[in-house]
Structure 1
Amino acid sequence: MTAPLPLPESFALTFRGYDREQVDERIEELLGELRLLTADRDAAVAEAENLARRLEQARADNAALRARADRLCRTPADPAAVGDRVRHLLELAHAEAAGIVATARHRAAAIVREAEETALRRDADARARATGIVDDARRRAERLAAVERRTAARLREVDALLADAETLVAEETPLRAAA
């Protein structure tokens, strides 16, 4: 996350207030930064959604593989229909297959756990980044609004001073003519 841009303490004074071009440029800079922060937040949310979709796909794949393994294990060859030597080989093959299936299930469960943990971490990170970006943008917008309010108040003060000066000048002119 980028550090907030420093706001100037004041803008350059011109004849009737602040330099409007300078104020407009600063506002445009802040709006550009806000657009970038919004884009970063949207990208983080999209990444979290993508990871959630991938996790769901991994879960679906895991369920399909479990169903297939269960189906294969339920239809073994009948050892009674073959000779002793073949029966012994089939029993060994069944035992080895059961071990392989158990190992595969453990590995699949570990992969699913790891994918879920990674997705949760990334989702939390993306949400935290998005929240930070939004909070930062709000703070910047609030500072910009405060600068705008101060600028408007100062412009009103300058306008009042100018009006007073114009009144004084207008009142002073007849006095000079009479003297």
Structure 2
Amino acid sequence: MGLADDRDLVPLGSGFDIVKRGYDRAQVEDHLERLDSDLRLLAADRDAAVSQTNDLARQLEAARSEIAELRGQVERLSLPPTTLEGLSERLQRMLRLAQDEANEIKARAEAEGGHIRAKAEADAGVLRTRYEKLIAELDQRRTDMEAEHRGVLEKARAEADRIVGEARAEATRLDEESLQRRTTVEEDFEIAMAARRVESMKTLAEQEASSKGEAERRLREAAEEAARVRAQIAQEQASSNAEAQRLVREATEEANRRRHDSISEATARVQEATDEANRRVREATEEANRRVTQASQKVDALRQLRNRLSQQLHAVSSALHDVTPLLDPLEEERPQPPQSSTPAPTAPSST
């Protein structure tokens, strides 16, 4: 709090250097920055004072709580633990002394507590008064600084408007001068262009005449070159036709020769193929006849084998026919008929 009490008020007016277009901008910005820093310092002092006031209030409440606790202890100690009846004289005297001492301590504690309470309340009042005074000073400083800030901003805004107006007037004047200069330059340009146009037309006429002569010369040279080229082309065409006819004759002769060779070769190959085919037909016929002969021989052999088997079967059948009577059983091997065991009937007796 001592730092806040000893600080001087922020100066509300500062002189700025006058320059060509108003106040010096750097000085104005520095002054505004100083004002902002002073405001931040005042806010920090205010916060510190509020914090200190809160600490003192908490200490006062703690002292009040401690006084109340001590008062309760004194009251508990001042109460007699028991009645004086039935106690000895010595104990009664000691109890009275203790009660007197307790009353004295209680009175002294109450007096000291009242003194502490009064002192704490006085200190709290002083702190509250200082805090309110400091808050009022801070509010006044803030109001003054805001007013000064607004004044500086208004001056700067007015100066800026004036500078903008002068700049616009200067721009208008420069535009008019530029328009006049442009008109003059355009007139000079038109005059120069007219002179150059006349000179250019003259130069173009001369160039056109020389160009026509050069063109006629080049046309003559081109016609001569074309005639020479046509003659050369005709000569080359005649030689090319002769060469082409020669090549056609040679190609025709070569084609006829190759066709004759091809026909001869084809005839020879056809004859060879015919001979080979006849040979293969003869061989196939001989092979077929041979196989047919072999098949006929096999058929004859199979037929003979069948006849022999038939004869053998016939002989076996005759043999079986002759052997069949021999297989019949003999008389003694034949089964006997069964004999009857019933007795013969007797003749009736006569009476």
| TM-score under structure 1 length normalisation | 0.86
Q: In 2, distance between residues paired with 1:73 and 1:45?
A: 42
Alignment of 1:69-88 (within 5 A): 69-88=74-93
Q: In 1, distance between residues paired with 2:113 and 2:86?
A: 34
| Contact residue 45 and residue 130 of structure 1 kept, 8 A | no
2:91 is the alignment partner of 1:125: no
2:11 is the alignment partner of 1:5: yes
Q: Specify the alignment match of 2:163 in structure 1.
A: 158
Q: Specify the alignment match of 2:217 in structure 1.
A: none
Give the deviation of 1:119 after TM superposition: 1.2
Alignment of 1:57-96 (within 5 A): 57-96=62-101
Q: Secondary structure at the match of 2:11?
A: coil
Q: Secondary structure at the match of 2:14?
A: coil
Q: CA distance change for structure 1 residues 9 and 21 in 2, over 3 Å: closer, same or farther?
A: closer
Q: Specify the alignment match of 1:112 in structure 2.
A: 117
Aligned length: 177
Q: Specify the alignment match of 2:107 in structure 1.
A: 102
Corresponding letter in the other structure for 1:148: L
| TM-score under structure 2 length normalisation | 0.46
Gaps of 5+ in 1: none
Task: Give CA-to-partner distance per residue, 1:110-169, whole Å, 9 cap, x none.
Answer: 111111111121122112212211320221122012111111111111220222133234
Give the deviation of 1:107 after TM superposition: 1.1
Q: Which fold has the larger relative contact order, with Cα–Cα distance below 8 Å and residues 6 or more apart in sequence?
A: 1
Q: In 2, distance between residues paired with 1:46 and 1:127?
A: 14
Q: CA distance change for structure 1 residues 155 and 164 in 2, over 3 Å: closer, same or farther?
A: same
Gaps of 5+ in 2: 1-6, 188-351
Task: Give CA-to-partner distance per residue, 1:87-109, whole Å, 9 cap, x none.
Answer: 23322331232122112111111
Give the deviation of 1:77 after TM superposition: 4.8
Alignment of 1:5-84 (within 5 A): 5-14=11-20, 16-84=21-89
Q: Secondary structure at the match of 1:80?
A: coil
Q: Share of identical aligned residues, percent?
A: 29
| Contact residue 69 and residue 101 of structure 1 kept, 8 A | yes
